[in-house]
Amino acid sequence: MQYSNPGYDGVVQRPSRLLILALAFGVALIGTFIFGWRAGRHARHLRWENEPIRPWMSVPFVAHTHHVPAAVLFHAIGLEPQPQDRRPLRTIAREQHRPVEDVVRDLERALAAAGHTHPALETPGGKAP
């Protein structure tokens, strides 16, 4: 490698390059631990936490992720149960002329109520909150 910058004999540049490499190495190591820790945390949540309800989900999708019959949720938002109805919650909310947050809230209430009657909602440590 050539270090022929005028005014420098190369001695100054070498340690500065090493310093940059060492810093980058340190950042990469820290990144490895941070992302590893985050991946581990998500992996733990995979086992114990229920999926939050998102506006892109359909009613059968929410029913599947929370292990309750879809009919319970369809009724909760004032719809006749139809297994083939795969409309996203946002579309349903638009058609019902109300904010999607309202629809999500109704579903969450229905899930909370269903938690008392559907054992699938129970976690190993007891019933879901």
> Minimum Å distance from CB 80 to another protein?
18
> Minimum Å distance from CB 52 to another protein?
7
Query: Which residue, among 54, 52, 57, 53, has the nearest Cα to 87 in the 3D structure?
Result: 57
Burial 35-60 (b: 16+ CB within 10 A, else e): eeeeeeeeeeeeeeeeeebeeebbbb
Given a contact cutoff of 8 angstroms between Cβ atoms, the answer to whether 50 and 40 are in contact is no
Q: Which is nearer to another protein, 35 or 116 (CB)?
A: 35
* CA pseudo-torsion sign 37, 42, 47, 49: positive
Q: Which is nearer to another protein, 57 or 77 (CB)?
A: 57
Query: Which residues are near another protein by CB under 8 A?
Result: 14, 17-18, 21-22, 24-25, 28-29, 31-32, 35-36, 38-39, 42-43, 45-46, 49, 51-52, 54-58, 60-61, 64-67, 86-88, 90-91
Q: Which is nearer to another protein, 8 or 56 (CB)?
A: 56
> Minimum Å distance from CB 42 to another protein?
4
